Chain A
Amino acid sequence: MIELILPAVASCIVAFFVVFLMTPPLIKFLEKRNFTVKDVNKKENVLVARPGGLSIIVGIIASEIVLYTFLQLNEILVILFTTSIAFVIGYIDDRKYFKMHNQRWFKPIALAIAAIPIIAFGAYTSDLAFPLFGTVQIPILYLALIFLMIPITGNTINSIDVLNGVASGFMVIASFSLSICLFITQNYEIAIVSLPLGFVSLAFYKYHKIPSKIFPGDSGALTFGAMYGAIAIVGGVEIIAAVALLPAVLNSFLFLSSVKQIRGKPVEHTDDFQLKATDDKTAPVTLVRLILAGGSLSEKQVGFTIFKLGIFSGILAIITAFMMGVSL
């Protein structure tokens, strides 16, 4: 355990400072080339640089390479390959945004490809561990689960990337919760491998928080989600990871359960540009819309409510991790 402290500290410092230092020049580069989008939740015509996925993936690669030089774990390579493939998929979607926008199935299918390194390296066990009851062996179903899990985690994080700072801020909470859970379940090596995700998210949040100077784009959101999913699989903490991600899962669930009737806008603006839920029955039910059902709120207030839900889920995940050690 003590020999892991140096690699852990070194990788966390690299993860944080690579993103912290690389993002400002990336913002300038993107703005210079007019890679900007309108921030629709601002009254003024504010243009924000997009995508920020490049600084996120560089931070992840650099920190995980540092870890690999110390630990030489195959799991690190698997996480790196899966995350890098997800970044490329997201970047393709970012660059061809207007063409790809109507092709809903591009990302889920392409993200399944990102799961291939996990299977190719055999970095999984087909035992699915549940709290209180123990494990169940589902060899065939587990393979299908791997192909499903990366698209699910990637797209759920992408689906909550709707307000300034929410995707990166939520990722900070979820990934640190997952790291704590991995320590509780005594999976120390993967816990340390997971720490850079939290520090990369934290450094990116500095520029993504309201008012955003940069948006992660699909390349950033899918990178976050795919790395989270890969850590969950190689760490054997799929159920705990799902619990920590529940607000994002809830958002996707609400959206998909109202998928037949999507036409209208779920949220609109008041005169003072606060967010307000619409009465439109053809609009999808989303997490933001439900938060706003009680009345209009500012973008910052909605973001903080999502963070509170994230912290609540993180606590449930930690309780779940403790319950893993208890058998009925």
Chain B
Amino acid sequence: MKSGLFGFLFGMWILILIGGGIAVTILGPFSISGFGELDWFIGSVIKAIVAIILVIIWILILSKLKNWIFRKEIKS
């Protein structure tokens, strides 16, 4: 079980790195125009929504990873 926990922590770390890459490459350069002074605000709101979606996906992947690692560990 202990090796599974270390593996899970490592998996969480990898997901953080990948999530960071997605956030910087997709969210970073994203900008919107055509709304005048509201461009900055609307752009930020869209970035926030995409970031929240990414966090939800991160949690779902972690749940799957948790079930996969720990079921496998318990069976062995």
Contacts and interface: CB of A to CB of B under 8 A. Distances in A.
Contacts, number: 93
Q: Which of A131, A135, A141, A257 is the most central at the interface, judged by chain B CB atoms within 10 Å of its CB?
A: A141
A188 interface: no
A250 B1 contact: no
A293 interface: yes
Contact of B13 (A130, A141, A243): A243
B5 A309 contact: yes
Contacts of A242: 16
Interface residues of A, number: 38
B48 to A, nearest CB: 4
Interface in B11-41: 12-13, 16-17, 20-21, 23-25, 27-28, 40-41
A291 B9 contact: no
A133 B9 contact: no
Contacts of A316: 9-10, 13
A225 to B, nearest CB: 19
Interface in A121-152: 128, 130-141, 144
Nearest to A310: B9
Contact of A144 (B9, B48, B70): B48
Nearest to B74: A293
A239 B48 contact: no
B5 A291 contact: yes
Nearest to B17: A131
A133 B5 contact: no
A136 B23 contact: yes
Interface string B45-58: 10110010000000
A254 interface: yes
B9 A239 contact: no
A253 B62 contact: yes
Interface string A236-251: 0001001100110110
Given A144-B48, A246-B13, A316-B10, 13 more contacts: A130-B21, A133-B20, A133-B23, A133-B24, A136-B27, A138-B44, A140-B41, A239-B16, A242-B16, A246-B12, A250-B12, A253-B59, A287-B5
Interface of B: 1-2, 4-6, 8-10, 12-13, 16-17, 20-21, 23-25, 27-28, 40-41, 44-45, 47-48, 51, 59, 62-63, 66, 70, 73-74
Interface of A: 128, 130-141, 144, 239, 242-243, 246-247, 249-250, 253-254, 257, 287, 290-294, 305, 308-309, 312-313, 316, 320, 323
